[in-house]
Amino acid sequence: MKTVLRLLSAILLLMAAASPAATYGFTPDTYASTSVLAGGRWVKISVSETGMYLISNADLRAWGFRDPSAVRVYGYGGRRIPDHFTRASYTDDLPLVQSAVTPRGVVFYGVGTDTRLDVPDTEYHYRSRNPYSLCGYYFLSDSGAPLREIPSEGREPGLNKATTFVEGLFHETDLTSPMQSGHLLLGEDFRYNKSQTFSFNMPGRVEGSEVWMQTDFYASAATATVLGFTANGEELPLSGRDRCEGVKEGGDTCRVRKTFVPKGERLVLGIDARVPGGATVAALDNISIAYVRALRMPASEPLSFTIPKGLSPVLSGADDKTAIWDVTDPLDIVAVSAVRTSDGLSWSSEVYGRRAYVEWREAGSFLTPRLTSMSVAAQDLHGE
Query: Could you tell me which residue, 19 or 358, shows the higher pLDDT?
Result: 358
Summarize pLDDT for 30-62 with one digit per residue, the tens: 778 788 888 889 999 999 999 999 999 999 999
CB 276 within 8 A of CB 194: no
Q: d(Cα 107, Cα 237) in Å, to the nearest integer? A: 46
Question: How would residue 324 be classed by pLDDT, with cut points 50, 70 and 90?
Answer: very high
Instruction: Name the DSSP letter for residue 241.
Output: T
- Report the pLDDT averaged over residues 330-342: 94
When the pLDDT of each residue in the chain is averaged and rounded to a whole number, the result is 90
Summarize pLDDT for 217-265 with one digit per residue, the tens: 999 999 999 999 999 999 999 999 999 998 867 889 999 999 999 999 9
Q: d(Cα 346, Cα 285) in Å, to the nearest integer? A: 39
Q: d(Cα 328, Cα 357) in Å, to the nearest integer? A: 7
User: Which of these, 235, 357, 244, lies nearest to 305 by C-alpha position?
Assistant: 357
User: Which of these, 211, 246, 207, 247, lies nearest to 229 by C-alpha position?
Assistant: 211
CB 41 within 8 A of CB 139: no
- What is the per-residue burial (b if ≥16 Cβ within 10 Å, else e) of 170-187? bbbeeeeebeeeeebbbb
Q: Look at residue 383 in the predicted model and tell me its pLDDT.
A: 57
How far out from the chain centre does Cα 227 lie? 27
Alpha-carbon separation of residue 4 from 9, 13, 311 (angstroms): 9, 14, 63
Summarize pLDDT for 211-222 with one digit per residue, the tens: 999 999 999 999
7 — phi, psi (to 5°)?
-65, -45
Q: Is the pLDDT of residue 28 over 80?
A: no
DSSP assignment of 33-89, as one string? SS-GGGSS--EEEEESSSEEEEEEHHHHHHTT-S-GGG-EEEE--SSPPPSS--TTT
Instruction: Name the DSSP letter for residue 359.
Output: E
Q: d(Cα 236, Cα 261) in Å, to the nearest integer? A: 10
Residue type, 114: D
Q: Look at residue 382 in the predicted model and tell me its pLDDT.
A: 63
How far out from the chain centre does Cα 127 lie? 7
202 — phi, psi (to 5°)?
-125, 70
Q: Look at residue 256 in the predicted model and tell me its pLDDT.
A: 97
Q: Is the pLDDT of residue 6 over 70?
A: no
Instruction: Name the DSSP letter for residue 11.
Output: H
- Residue 2: CB partners within 8 Å, gap ≥ 6? none
- Residue 291: CB partners within 8 Å, gap ≥ 6? 166, 167, 169, 202, 205, 209, 210, 211, 212
331 — phi, psi (to 5°)?
-95, 5
Residue 13's H or E segment, with its range, is helix 2-18
Count CA atoms within 13 Å of residue 112 on its CB side: 17
Q: Is the pLDDT of residue 7 over 80?
A: no
Alpha-carbon separation of residue 180 from 186, 249, 345 (angstroms): 11, 14, 51
Q: Look at residue 80 in the predicted model and tell me its pLDDT.
A: 85
Q: Is the pLDDT of residue 5 over 50?
A: no
Q: Look at residue 246 in the predicted model and tell me its pLDDT.
A: 85
In angstroms, the first-to-last Cα distance of the chain is: 49
Residue 140's H or E segment, with its range, is strand 136-141
Question: How would residue 4 be classed by pLDDT, with cut points 50, 70 and 90?
Answer: very low
Of the chain, the percentage scoring pLDDT greater than 90 comes to 73
CB 217 within 8 A of CB 284: yes
Q: d(Cα 288, Cα 214) in Å, to the nearest integer? A: 5
Q: Is the pLDDT of residue 17 over 60?
A: no
Number of helices (H) and strands (E) in the chain: give both, helices first: 2, 27
CB 32 within 8 A of CB 381: no
Summarize pLDDT for 49-108 with one digit per residue, the tens: 999 999 999 999 999 999 999 999 999 999 888 777 787 777 888 999 999 999 999 999
